[in-house]
Structure 1
């Protein structure tokens, strides 16, 4: 061991002591970060502390819980371990654990997906357990294919590492297909008969341009899949969960592996717990952990780290859980929905670096499942509470903004005192990554305080007031129920064509369609949304508004081929003043050429503009932005994330001009953002674009109504003003923040 290693260990020890004894803070990351600065190959030298080897758990959802369960199982079997139990899963967190904990038989680590490429070649772990891959933090991680490439590269650099992977996830299966490492697939061999959510991450085949089909789907893209155009399909499972029972008491199944079939169970009553259970079982069997020890660990598992953590506070059952992407949130909503009793649900969303600055993904969450529940009150918290309140409004849920979980409890107490909610109403707190610790700390403090009292009171503190959440007010009278149309009305519907939502569904852009749809329904105007999937056609002469979103590169290229086949019809629609809203990739495709990866490809040529390579800078343009736009009196707020640089022709005006200190617009040169041509609006603005900008939404709708009038001969009604206080509050919060 050299001088650098000695100095790195000393720096780690000193910083650990200082953080714990002077600053009274966790020492989960900083000691390792300092030590790695001193000795960049520190992990190579520390891996010898794990005498028998190490295992690394990666995946978008469930890393911390599964890794901690594995740690418990190893210890239950009498193995000594080193583990980063706090969830500090970058190289610094793993280095800190190795520096601070005594030598052991096994290292049991979780690792961030993108950091595996830095960690695995140095640890040379015996096993990597790959749980799943879902869309997550697109501003940091990028599209999922980038993560796939990174994980495959990490495995290639550690060829003796065995990959145990979720074969029900086509994204994980593709990684196994591309590496030479020994790979062991696990999955569920039967359907859990779950209701499906609106958005899934992988609808295109991972090997060809076909679309994935399913014999059955569990949730997200997980299930028994196959492609009709090539041989890509779920592989035969080495560890298969079957005879699955999912209920309030947990998940029970039989797992059949190479040696035997054994029954296992977990008290966690969630579909993703079924996957975590079979994943952990597979790794334990491969490492020689007896099933009896594994089952003891599962039954006793109670990490108390905010993941599915339960409390009993003031006579109420409280559940706290982490959710940081659409799939995670949708699975949490299934837990809430299964509780048919009265309840409070408090959501907390932050946008710190660790969370991802772009929160457009909240529009891919099916909050509509909580609508029309008279015994359910909902609150929105976190640094992006106002954005969350907007999303919930368009789901039919009024969600007052709260400062904290304590504030939510005060309001619930006031509702109880007013006999609106019962004293034993359940509480669900769901928070994303950096929003979780303060909620966790507050609930722990409540639990500690309650332990000191002889009996808890459900009454609200003196002076607390609350209002009963209700459906958003409808200024135009009772709105028709949300659906694909209102056949009871003699008035013809406004027809919105949502182009290729199965391919162009990135960044929550489909939320724009929901916003347009709801703003018509709230005014009593019938509307029909036609979702035009891959391979389907639409008669644009019957359409009043067209929407095109953005997508991952492969999906966007496939979508562009279908749109190019429709080029003449789309051009005629635009020239006839048909309104069209195009976001990001959909916006680029409207020009003469656009950027597909590093390749310039032909566009529709409907707008005189072109998108080029970045030139000397390969940086993506990623940030919040505020625009001045002639379509709105208020500032227009959005989020950009694009690599291409778009330049407008001489006759094309911009959608707006960037006025904030952050945000770059079309090309990082002229501060122009987006494009306007006739009734076409193209923009790089996510958020979605219309969520905090109701004036722009109504500008589009006014032109859609004019189009319907020309198409049907029926006069266009005046757009009755709506109460946009929630949307404008979210707009104002971001404008103030970005003006600093």
Structure 2
């Protein structure tokens, strides 16, 4: 390292020690400090690690965490961003705060879609793992194809990197690239001829803009797609879900390529995340039995079906950021056989996306058939959420503007469990309060 880079890394590390030691924080500010002193500090880590970049709209944090757990079965030094701080400053933080590996390490980086090009500028990855593309934070990303173009700009800078992509998303196979490809997806259902609902993301073929058809649909616009007009279709799968044996709100038992795995988080969307992790691990030389052990041992991921015990009540925190995320979470929690309460926390700061209109596309009304005795909306934009629930026909919805006070509110619920579906900023505020009351370890760490 140059003297300038060494000073930048040192100051960044010192700021992390203070923030982490005193405030249980420090997921991005240390990197920002280091980047102010040396804007190109990331360049100096390119020879210390092999790199994998995980990108897409939903599932990046969970897919990354599961992938890291599997890769630790083979690689002793795996660096990643566990808090989901996935912009340049957050990624700089993990490097300036990590000890220097004794030999070449492996870095698995969750990267914000718009930031892939800024990260690939400094080091070329061995692989890109692509989860899905949905409408998300339109004030930041614009529409689907604009987001895909931004991602492609970064991918094209690393033409030798293997692309490990969700084959069930029609957009990922819409552009010819020189990169080697590995495709993963579901193959557990009989084929038919279906069309997705009209409000679905990617309802038209990304090549000819004809209405796209499906042999089957997993959720949203994902599935065994084919275009009857131009012939665009799902590629042959390299790794696949062959059977879903059980899927609950807490976990799933599935078969990948005929081998059984228990996934420690619930919902179809997390089967995709586990399959992405499995596909990367196989590409990196980890065998199936080691992956199976890794999934069983996988720790809870903050804010992603994170369970917190508060007296005799259980709070399950699930972070969302767009319509498809909410709808898949609703489908997941409705599989819970036990009575539960429901809270929705809405914030609209830059980290969340400043436009809240997406909540009107969410299918909250599907909860009505589940006999839920207690509803709550909260956080800074609770008025928008309350209006949405009012027009959805919900009666007697409770309101709590302060996420921290939800800890006291949960004591009054008539059920043993409450699902808290929350935007990113509200989730941070809630976890900070939980940490201060010693209900969890650390705020965002």
Alignment correspondent of 2:348: 351
**CA shift in 2, pair 1:211/1:116, >3 Å:** same
**CA shift in 2, pair 1:180/1:321, >3 Å:** same
| CA–CA distance in structure 2, aligned partners of residues 409 and 88 of structure 1 | 25
- Structure 1 residue 172: Cα displacement: 2.3
Cα pair 1:371 1:395 within 8 Å, conserved: no
- Structure 1 residue 156: Cα displacement: 1.0
Q: Does 1:336 align with 2:333?
A: yes
Alignment correspondent of 1:268: 265
**CA shift in 2, pair 1:243/1:230, >3 Å:** same
Matches within 5 A, 1:115-126: 115-126=115-126
- Structure 1 residue 163: Cα displacement: 0.7
Alignment correspondent of 1:185: 183
Alignment correspondent of 1:387: 384
Q: Does 1:305 align with 2:302?
A: yes
**CA shift in 2, pair 1:206/1:4, >3 Å:** same
Specify which of 59, 65, 70 is matched with residue 62 of structure 2: 65
**CA shift in 2, pair 1:353/1:266, >3 Å:** same
| CA–CA distance in structure 2, aligned partners of residues 29 and 412 of structure 1 | 31
- Higher relative contact order (CA closer than 8 Å, sequence separation 6+): 2
Specify which of 399, 402, 415 is matched with residue 401 of structure 1: 399
Cα pair 1:191 1:217 within 8 Å, conserved: no
Cα pair 1:191 1:218 within 8 Å, conserved: no
Q: Secondary structure at the match of 2:300?
A: coil
**CA shift in 2, pair 1:381/1:114, >3 Å:** same
Specify which of 90, 93, 116 is matched with residue 90 of structure 2: 93
Q: Does 1:209 align with 2:206?
A: no
**CA shift in 2, pair 1:440/1:162, >3 Å:** same
Q: Secondary structure at the match of 2:277?
A: helix
- Structure 1 residue 412: Cα displacement: 5.6
Alignment correspondent of 2:416: 425
Cα pair 1:346 1:405 within 8 Å, conserved: no
Structure 1 gap ranges (5+): 416-420, 450-740
| Deviation sequence 1:387-427 (CA, Å, 0-9, x none) | 11111112111322113456456556456xxxxx3xx4321
What is the number of residues matched between the two proteins? 432
Moved more, 330-339 or 135-144: 330-339
| Deviation sequence 1:298-337 (CA, Å, 0-9, x none) | 1122235121112333323331111111111111111232
| CA–CA distance in structure 2, aligned partners of residues 103 and 290 of structure 1 | 28
Alignment correspondent of 1:10: 10
Cα pair 1:187 1:275 within 8 Å, conserved: yes
Q: Does 1:44 align with 2:35?
A: no
Cα pair 1:197 1:366 within 8 Å, conserved: no
| CA–CA distance in structure 1, aligned partners of residues 46 and 220 of structure 2 | 36
Q: Secondary structure at the match of 2:136?
A: coil
**CA shift in 2, pair 1:308/1:374, >3 Å:** closer
Alignment correspondent of 2:362: 365
Moved more, 68-77 or 233-242: 68-77
**CA shift in 2, pair 1:43/1:138, >3 Å:** same
Alignment correspondent of 1:228: 228
Matches within 5 A, 1:77-226: 77-104=74-101, 105-174=105-174, 177-191=175-189, 199-226=199-226
**CA shift in 2, pair 1:142/1:71, >3 Å:** same
Q: Secondary structure at the match of 2:241?
A: strand
Cα pair 2:346 2:385 within 8 Å, conserved: yes
TM-score, L = length of structure 1 = 0.55
**CA shift in 2, pair 1:410/1:122, >3 Å:** closer
Moved more, 435-444 or 326-335: 435-444
Q: Secondary structure at the match of 1:122?
A: coil
| Deviation sequence 1:10-47 (CA, Å, 0-9, x none) | 332343344345x6352221222222233333222212
Q: Secondary structure at the match of 2:152?
A: helix
Alignment correspondent of 1:317: 314
Cα pair 2:376 2:398 within 8 Å, conserved: yes
Cα pair 1:309 1:321 within 8 Å, conserved: yes
| CA–CA distance in structure 1, aligned partners of residues 404 and 7 of structure 2 | 45
Q: Secondary structure at the match of 1:181?
A: coil
**CA shift in 2, pair 1:16/1:410, >3 Å:** closer
| CA–CA distance in structure 1, aligned partners of residues 404 and 126 of structure 2 | 45
- Structure 1 residue 444: Cα displacement: 5.0
- Structure 1 residue 211: Cα displacement: 1.0
- Structure 1 residue 255: Cα displacement: 2.1
Structure 2 gap ranges (5+): 441-445
Q: Secondary structure at the match of 2:149?
A: helix
**CA shift in 2, pair 1:144/1:401, >3 Å:** same
Q: Secondary structure at the match of 2:304?
A: coil
Q: Secondary structure at the match of 2:158?
A: coil
**CA shift in 2, pair 1:400/1:437, >3 Å:** same
Q: Secondary structure at the match of 1:154?
A: helix
- Structure 1 residue 56: Cα displacement: 1.3
TM-score, L = length of structure 2 = 0.90
What do you get for the CA RMSD once the two structures are aligned? 2.4
Alignment correspondent of 1:480: none
Q: Secondary structure at the match of 2:68?
A: helix
- Structure 1 residue 265: Cα displacement: 2.4
| CA–CA distance in structure 1, aligned partners of residues 212 and 120 of structure 2 | 31
Q: Secondary structure at the match of 1:136?
A: coil
| Deviation sequence 1:536-578 (CA, Å, 0-9, x none) | xxxxxxxxxxxxxxxxxxxxxxxxxxxxxxxxxxxxxxxxxxx
Alignment correspondent of 1:34: 33
- Structure 1 residue 197: Cα displacement: 7.2
